[in-house]
């Protein structure tokens, strides 16, 4: 019943601000949804990440409106479906075990969402396909570096970013694999960023393959110079306003790739 409420169309209400009418989600409805999200989080969490009473459950949050939905030190062993969901406000998924991964196809990011220290069941992934990061919104993915031949934690493709998409990497002491990000669409206001990498457990970083991206004039791609120098970022089949040669044309010290207005 709780998930069914979250899947219902959010109620809208007319407000007036400085004499101008606005139609926004109803405050009362949003508070109920926030309370349900907090209940899910608390009943799947424990100090040692062994889980809570709701950890074995499936969570069908397809097309749900989820304000400030966060999972911390949580364990979810069932299916977690966020297809078409709206993640609104500050949504934080940190120290979470997802036994069956998480299906985030068509998800809409309308605030600040981040994934950090995620553990997945064998062969599972967080699937972010055809997702949309709206203007002034951000999506941060702290990626666990895959080994050669291993599947990446995140399946990324066909996404559109009008805000900011950031990948965070930590160094490892084993031979790293490759992470592919395909068909990312970056309009003029969009930004893709790889955060300044941390050494973590070593000095090896995965190779990022940017396949068939489409970028508009004014979009930005921000890459730390050490990764460019090590040739750990590769653009393949780009179209649109910028077609960068990552490894030669711009030089090893470049940290911002993109068209200037």
Which of 211, 209, 109, 113 has the alpha carbon at shortest distance from 158? 211
pLDDT for the residue 242: 58
In a domain, 152, yes or no: yes
In a domain, 15, yes or no: no
Q: Determine phi and psi for 19, rounding to 5 degrees.
A: 85, 0
Task: Give me the DSSP letters along 7-55.
Answer: HSPPPEEEEEETTEEEEEE-HHHHHHHHHHHHHHHHHTB-TTS---TTT
In a domain, 19, yes or no: no
In a domain, 63, yes or no: yes
Per-residue pLDDT of the chain (261 residues), as tens digits, is: 899 999 999 998 888 777 778 887 888 999 999 999 999 999 999 988 888 999 999 999 999 999 999 999 999 999 999 999 999 999 999 999 999 999 999 999 999 999 999 999 999 999 999 999 999 999 999 988 888 888 889 999 999 999 999 999 888 888 888 899 999 999 989 999 998 777 666 778 888 999 999 988 888 888 887 787 788 888 888 887 655 444 333 334 434 444 333
pLDDT for the residue 255: 41
In a domain, 83, yes or no: yes
CA dist 105 and 131 (Å) reads: 6
Number of domain units in the chain: 1
Identify the domain containing residue 77 by its residue range: 2-10+24-258
pLDDT for the residue 259: 39
In a domain, 190, yes or no: yes
In a domain, 52, yes or no: yes
pLDDT for the residue 25: 85
CA dist 222 and 255 (Å) reads: 6
Residues 226, 232, 236, 240, CA torsion sign: negative
In a domain, 184, yes or no: yes
Q: What is the pTM of this model?
A: 0.88
- Spatial neighbors of 28 by CB under 8 A, at least 6 apart, are 11
Furthest CA-CA distance within the chain: 61
The conformational region for residue 210 under phi > 0 = left, psi -120 to 50 = alpha, else beta, is beta
- Spatial neighbors of 68 by CB under 8 A, at least 6 apart, are 34, 37, 88, 89, 90, 91, 111
CB 25, CB 34: distance < 8 Å: no
């Amino acid at each position: 019943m709780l998930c069914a409420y979250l899947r219902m169309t959010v109620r809208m209400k007319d407000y007036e601000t400085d004499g101008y009418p606005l139609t926004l989600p109803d405050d009362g409805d949003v508070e109920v949804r926030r309370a349900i999200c907090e209940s899910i989080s608390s009943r799947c969490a424990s100090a040692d990440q062994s889980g809570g009473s709701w950890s074995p459950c499936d969570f069908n949050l397809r097309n749900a409106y989820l304000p400030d939905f966060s999972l911390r030190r949580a364990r979810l062993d069932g299916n977690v479906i966020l297809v078409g969901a709206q993640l609104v406000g500050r949504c934080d998924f940190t120290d979470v075990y997802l036994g069956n991964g998480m299906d985030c196809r068509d998800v809409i990011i309308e605030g600040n969402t981040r994934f950090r220290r995620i553990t997945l069941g064998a062969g599972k992934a967080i699937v972010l396909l055809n997702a949309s990061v709206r203007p002034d919104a951000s999506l941060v993915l702290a990626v666990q570096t895959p080994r050669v031949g291993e599947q990446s934690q995140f399946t990324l493709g066909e996404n559109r970013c009008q805000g900011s998409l950031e990948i965070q990497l930590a160094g490892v002491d084993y031979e790293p694999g490759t992470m592919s990000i395909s068909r990312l669409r970056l309009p003029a206001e969009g930004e893709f960023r790889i955060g300044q990498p941390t050494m973590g457990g070593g000095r090896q970083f995965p190779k990022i393959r940017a396949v068939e991206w489409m970028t508009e004039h004014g979009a930005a791609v921000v890459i730390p110079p050490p990764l460019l120098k090590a040739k750990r970022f590769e653009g393949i089949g780009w179209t649109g306003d910028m077609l960068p040669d990552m490894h030669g044309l711009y030089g090893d010290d470049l940290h911002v790739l993109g068209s200037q207005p």
